[in-house]
Structure 1
Amino acid sequence: MSLFLTLLMVLFSGHLSSAIFCSMVIIFLATFYYSTHRHKVFLVDFACYKPGDALMGTNEVTIEHVKLLGVFSEESMAFQKKILKKSGIGQSYFPPAFWKLPPDSCMADAREETEMVVFGAIDDLLTKTAVMVKDIGILVFNCSLFNPTPSLATTVVNRYKLRNNILSYNLSGMGCSAGIISIDLAKTLLQVHPNCYALVVSTENLTHGSYSGNNRSMLVSNCLFRMGGAAILLSNRVSDHYSSKYELIHIVRTHKGTDDRGYKCAFQEEDDNGNVGVNLTKDLAATAGDALKANIATLAPLVLPVSEQLAFFANLVRRKVLKMKIKPYTPNFKLALEHFCIHAGGRAVLDNIQKNLELTDWHMEPSRMTLYKFGNTSSSSLWYELAYSEAKGRIKKGDRVWQIAFGSGFKCNSGIWRALRNVDPAMEGDPWMAEIDRFPVQEP
């Protein structure tokens, strides 16, 4: 006879003291179970916004239009042209305000951009999943540089008439890694709110975040960032296991904010003429490398096979204990993970990560093609990359996906997902399907 039935028999046996004791035991066991039981978190589906062709421009068209704005010196124009040529970006998208002459980056234009992107992505997501908005209990919205009042999260609540007890959060200033942070926050909330859907929205605003001065370290952002956004639907409902695409396995977050160089390497401030922009210092590359190493050190034991962990440990002993002059061992993450979605921050970022992780061109293709087609869409770039892998028919049941994101602060965050089913490209309405057959292309 089970312990539970035994306790119930004692509870109703007429012995008050025993009944009280057994009641306390049952309450304790129930509390212990629910405090230690972790709800699985499923990614039901996601959607990435694809702007219309009227907002698309090649690098050549972009340079000509920027020149017409009349706010940059000849030296700044030459510098931006040089950066664009090396960026790895081909045709990409800009918000409506960018194409206006004369330029007018007002609050109304910034709202127009955000609403265009966010509402477009959420509309697509709700169509794909057929989830009722009344069933969404959690909303997490992230946008670093544009944060009006009411919040952008409230804008979503108002547009879709979400329920009045929704748990809504608006994250700002977290940089390009905010997408993983938002997923982590939603995951934490889903652990304590059973039978619930969480809507995560990731975007950035170019209209409000563009720089109009001549400081070179601030001009780099103008050359790399582009219009885009994604909406993701998470669930902890057991019934969604069979219909969802992925299960969240791990999230590892690394924060280097205690290091002054890391804190200042991507810093929003005014230039000497009062123009606001994001200053990217020369310490950015080294800081990103250190953050990635620290993140990998935590992630590796969670995902790597024992053979790789032993090889890494043996190499460490030879170098640190035996003082042997050998190269540090680079774990082969390809043995543990099938797909890599690396934040498309720029060609140099992708080149360095490919070299450090010893990834093949096939593994890097989703990130490089996302950079080429959509540019750096900040926190949403990881989802354009995953959408590319889906459109190519690469995602099979059991495959594991590693999303890697970097952000100001400085932060490096990783998310590991496992595919719950084969993803059929023919059933996907993602931003790549209309032209996926022409990719990959040669980077400029």
Structure 2
Amino acid sequence: MIDYECYKATKDTKLDTEQCTKIASRNKNLGIEDYRFLAKTMVSSGLGEETYGPKSIILGEEEHPKLVDSLSELESVFYDTLDRIFARSKISPSQVDILVVNVSLLSTVPSLTARIINHYNMRSDIKAFNLIGMGCSASLVAIDLVQHLFKTQKKKIAIVVSTEAMSAHWYCGRERSMMLSNCLFRVGGCSMLLTNDRARKNQAILKLKCMVRTHLASDDEAYNCCMQVEDDEGYEGFRLNKTLTKVAARALTKNLRVLLPKVLPLREIIRYVFLKSRSKINVKTGIEHFCIHPGGRAVIDDVGASLGLSEYDLEPARMALHRFGNTSSGGLWYVLGYMEAKKRLKKGDRILMISLGAGFKSNTCVWEVTRDLDRTNVWKDIIENYPPKKTINPYIAKYAWIHDKDMDFVTTDDIKMMLLGSAA
């Protein structure tokens, strides 16, 4: 990897407490218990006040999404991140041999890769791939695809773009398993520049050591735990079932059984085999840093517990979730950016990336840092404030009254007025 660039949206698209409250109060389908559920979910989500939402949602257009809004959202991510990468690397768009774009929730004609090729006037022989419907773990799927192409094509340059289209997929119903996505998913994305040209070795910041992909779609529970559907009222959204964390744990366990013997020292594997019933395997004997998909607080907690990680290890994922939310397939790179901004990444260090996504999939890879990393990135203006010394959840401060059972006598309209009044 020569470079990567995460997207930072504009200030007018921030989804703070007040904006989230305004959006929720517009939903005519919600009752008092639904508002309590939303408040409880936001309190425990791990998201802060600085995440970003689609501009069309903030403007109140969630019930009537337009294709142009989705394309505008995506193109902001595409061109902002790619312009910066091309400028920094001194590699021009005409030098790119392979282009892979993964956006799960939007398929257009012409394709998204075609839009990028047209915008940058790329070569006619470029190899372009669109990955649709691959979920939050699609970024590593895209890198795996590039890795396989590199095995048969020498001295090539590849671009991978990982993001999501949120504008057309804001859930307007009241099914709780589908309301969760509104509380977690936010606008963001990342572009990456990769090569197998040894002449560019000195430009590299990371080297891919190994990749393992696990897919549990043959299991009905795993297949159904995370799915795009319509509810009984016809509102389209993303259903996250209660079995999600259990399925994720199972997928990750299967994946790591293949990955860890490739990256851990033989002495640790032998020790674990002999002491299996009395000891966990120590993943830190072969890995210095852990880049966990910031899909939600529960996911980060469960992965940390299963691998025996410390709060220091989990800090990058927690802070990426707090600052940017769950940005789907782009999320891993905000975590990596945090590590780099904190000057944690030194030459020779190994980074384990863990991604989880619909399907159900668990994809992991290990990168080796090829030089000390101390570059500016999306965190540059805010990194001194992280981790926060004390996190005060604004939803608790402003809307604790919504949990009061004495409020049951009020109407839904009363609740909406109170919420809007508190936001003001």
Q: Quick one: which of 369, 380, 384 aligns to 1:433? A: 380
Question: What corresponds to 1:130 in structure 2?
Answer: 90
Distance 2:361 2:347 in 1: 31
Q: Hey, what does 2:283 align to over in structure 1? A: 333
How much does 1:70 deviate?
3.9
Which TM-score applies when normalising by structure 2? 0.89
Matched, 1:298 2:258: yes
Report the equivalent of 1:241.
201
Aligned alpha-carbon RMSD (Å):
1.3
2:19–2:58 Cα contact (<8 Å) kept: no
CA separation in 2, counterparts of 1:296 and 1:248? 17
Matched to 2:54, the amino acid is P
Deviations 1:259-316 (A, max 9, x none): 1100000011111011111111111111000001101100110011112101221134
Give the alignment of 1:44-443 within 5 angstroms: 44-91=2-49, 92-103=51-62, 104-316=64-276, 326-327=277-278, 329-425=279-375, 428=376, 430-441=377-388, 442-443=390-391
State how far apart, in whole Å, the 2-side matches of 1:356 and 1:259 are.
Answer: 22
Distance 1:136 1:266 in 2: 35
Contact 1:288 1:406 in 2 (8 A): yes
Task: State how far apart, in whole Å, the 1-side matches of 2:13 and 2:108 are.
Answer: 24
Q: CA deviation at 1:235?
A: 0.3
Measured after TM superposition, the shift of residue 401 of structure 1 is 0.6
Higher mean Cα deviation, 56-65 or 410-419? 56-65
- Kept in 1: contact 2:23–2:60 (CA 8 A): no
For structure 2, which runs of at least 5 residues remain unmatched after alignment?
394-424
Alpha-carbon distance between aligned partners in 1 of 2:58 and 2:330, rounded to the nearest angstrom? 23
**Whole-Å separation in 2 of the counterparts to 1:333 and 1:390:** 21
SS in 2 for 1:279: strand
Cα displacement string for residues 111-169 of structure 1 (whole angstroms, at most 9, x for unaligned residues): 11111112111111112211111110000100111111111111111111111111000
Shift of 1:52: 1.2
Residues 393-433 of structure 1, C-alpha deviations (whole Å, 9 max, x = no match): 111100111110001111000011001101123xx2x1100
Q: Secondary structure at the residue paired with 2:275?
A: helix
Where do 5+ consecutive residues of structure 1 fail to align?
Answer: 1-42, 317-325
- Deviation sequence 1:371-414 (CA, Å, 0-9, x none): 00000000011001111111111111001111100011110000
Please tell me whether the aligned partners of residues 160 and 191 of structure 2 are also in contact (alpha carbons under 8 angstroms). Answer: yes
What's the CA shift for 1:100? Answer: 1.1
* 1:374 aligned partner, one-letter code: F
1:14 maps to none
Letter in 2 for 1:117: V
- The one-letter code of the counterpart of 1:423 is L
Residue identity in the other structure for 1:282: K
How many Å apart are 1:94 and its aligned residue? 0.6
CA shift digits 1:63-95 (9 cap, x unpaired): 233213545444333222211110000020011
SS at match of 1:434: coil
Cα distance in 2 for partners of 1:235, 1:102 equals 41
Letter in 2 for 1:357: L
Contact 2:2 2:206 in 1 (8 A): yes
C-alpha contact (below 8 Å) 2:351/2:366 kept by paired residues: yes
> Counterpart amino acid of 1:96?
K
Sequence identity, in percent?
A: 38
SS in 1 for 2:314: helix
For 1:128 and 1:71, the matched residues in 2 are separated by: 48
Tell me how far 1:102 sits from its aligned partner: 4.7
Is the 2:221–2:247 Cα contact (8 Å) retained in structure 1? Answer: yes
Q: Number of matched residues?
A: 389
Q: Higher relative contact order by CA 8 Å / sep ≥ 6: 1 or 2?
A: 2
Deviation of the 1:224 alpha carbon: 0.2
Q: Structure 2 CA distance, aligned partners of 1:141 and 1:432? A: 24
Aligned to 1:31: none
Q: What is the CA–CA distance in structure 2 between the aligned matches of 1:255 and 1:225, rounded to whole Å?
A: 23
Deviation at 1:214, TM superposition (A): 0.7
Cα distance between partner residues in 2 of 1:438 and 1:85: 21
Between the aligned partners of 1:50 and 1:291, the Cα distance in structure 2 is 31
Matched to 2:386, the amino acid is: F
- What is the CA deviation profile of residues 8-29 of structure 1, one whole-angstrom value per residue up to 9, with x for unaligned ones? xxxxxxxxxxxxxxxxxxxxxx
CA offsets, 1:228-282, max 9 Å, x none?
0100000001011111101000101111111110000001111101111111111
User: Is the Cα contact below 8 Å between 1:63 and 1:81 reproduced in 2?
Assistant: no
Cα distance between partner residues in 2 of 1:403 and 1:242: 23
Which aligned segments of 4 or more residues in structure 1 are displaced greater than 4 angstroms? none
CA contact (8 A) 1:140 1:182 kept: yes
For the 8 Å contact 1:146–1:209, the answer to whether it is kept is no
What's 1:321 paired with?
A: none
Work out whether residues 72 and 214 of structure 1, in 8 Å CA contact, stay in contact via their aligned partners in 2.
yes
Distance in structure 1 (CA, Å) of the matches to 2:79 and 2:275: 51
